[in-house]
Amino acid sequence: MVLTGPPPSMNTQTQCQTMASTERQFDVSKLGSHGESRTEDVVAVELPLSILISSLDDSKSMGITMRTPGRDRELALGFLYSEGLINRISEVSEIKASSDSIEVICSNVDRVILNDYNRISTITSSCGICGKDSISSMLHIHGPKLNRGPQISMKTIESSVKNLRKNQPLFNSTGGSHASAIASINGDIIHLEEDVGRHNALDKLVGYLFSNDQLPANDVFLIVSGRASFELVHKAIRAGFTIMIAVGAPSSLAVEMAREHGLTLVGFAKRESLTIYSSPSRVSTN
C-alpha cells in the first residue's frame, strides 16, 4: 500500500493553525454562584473530511463526514471495511490524503454494496447509517462468522473501563470526545482511538486493525465510552469482535442484532455492576 499526500510542513499557515491539534481554545464567560468570570475553555476540534473510493475505472464519493482531524487514513479504511466495500488490506493500492479529503484507490470494490449508497452531502459526527438506500442493506452484515472468543471476568471488565478512562487525553482536556479501544483478556488497553463522533472513533480503531492485518479481532474485546447503538454493534460484528463493552446503554436494535449474531453485549459497565444483554456465557463472576 502506498500512502501519499503532503506532509504537515507543506500545509499553508492557516491549515497548520487549524490542523496542529485536536483541541482548540476559546475565550468564554462562566457564570456561577460567585458571578461572571472570563476564562479560556478547551474544546475538541470538528472539521469536515470528504471520503472517496476509487477503482481502475470509477470513483465515487461517500460524502463528507465531520470528524476530529488526525488518523484520517484509519478512519477511511475502517469506514470502508465496516460497510463491506473492501475486505483485505491487499485490495488497497494507494491512499491520497489532504487536510480535508481522502481517496482510497482499490484494486477491487464490492459493486453491489457500493450501488446501495446514495450519500447525502454532509454526514454529522453522530450519523452512522446516512446514505443507505434501503433498510435491508442497512441490516445486512458482510462479516466473518463470530467464533467462541475469549472468556473474561467482571473484574477484567471493571479494570478495562478504568483503564479506558485513564487513556483518553482528548476527553480529559475537553470532555467532548468519544473513545473506542481494544483490550486484552487481562483488561489492559492495547490500542485506543478518540473522535468527536463515536462512529468515527470505532472506524479509526477498525481501520488500525485492518491496516495491520489484525482482523477478525477475535482474541481481544471492544470497549466504547458511550452508549451501544445499532451502528456500533454492526461495526463490531463486522470486525469480528465477540465481546463489546459499553459504558452506557444499548438500543433495542443493538440488542437484537447482538443476539442474532452471538455477540456478547455488555452495557452500563460501571464499578462493581454491569448488564449483559446477549451471550452471557463469555463473562464470569470470578
| Residue 207: inside a domain | yes
Instruction: Report the alpha-carbon distance of residue 41 to residue 24 in Å, rounded.
Output: 8
In-domain check, residue 238: yes
pLDDT at position 3, please?
A: 43
Question: Catalytic: 127?
Answer: yes
Q: Name the residue with cell 477503482.
A: 55
Identify the band that residue 147 occupies on the pLDDT scale cut at 50, 70 and 90.
confident
Q: Which of 139, 167, 198 is the last residue of a domain?
A: 139
Same domain, 167 and 208: yes
Final residue of a domain: which of 139, 171, 193? 139
Of 16, 106, 127, 130, which residue is the catalytic one?
127
Residues 181 and 233 in one domain: yes
Residue 1 counted as domain residue:
no
Evaluate whether residue 165 is within a structural domain. yes
Does 183 lie in the same domain as 275?
Answer: yes
pLDDT, residue 113, reads: 73
| Mean pLDDT score, 104-128 | 66
More confident residue, 117 or 3: 117
Q: Are both 169 and 256 inside the same structural domain?
A: yes
CB 157 within 8 A of CB 274: yes
| Domain membership of residue 86 as a residue range | 47-139
Residues 185 and 246 in one domain: yes
**Given this model, what pLDDT does residue 14 score?**
33
How many domains does one find in the chain?
2
Residues 117 and 213 in one domain: no
Shared domain check, 212 and 122: no
Q: In this model, does residue 175 exceed pLDDT 60? A: yes
Question: Which of 90, 113, 139 is the last residue before a domain boundary?
Answer: 139
Residue 58 located in a structural domain: yes
In this structure, how many other beta carbons lie within 10 angstroms of the beta carbon of residue 89?
16
Determine the average pLDDT of the residues in 134-159: 75
The chain-wide mean pLDDT, for the chain, equals 85
pLDDT tens for 177-218 read: 999 999 999 999 999 999 999 999 999 999 999 999 999 998
The residue assigned the cell 460484528 is 237
Can you give the C-alpha Rg of the chain in angstroms? 19
Measure the CA–CA gap between 26 and 29, rounded to whole angstroms. 10
The verdict on residue 199 lying in a domain is yes
In the 8-state DSSP scheme, what is residue 228? B
Same domain, 192 and 161: yes
Q: Both 101 and 174 in a single domain? A: no
Label the pairing between strands 122-123 and 47-54. Answer: unpaired
Query: 123 and 182 share a domain?
Result: no
187: domain CATH number is 3.40.140.10
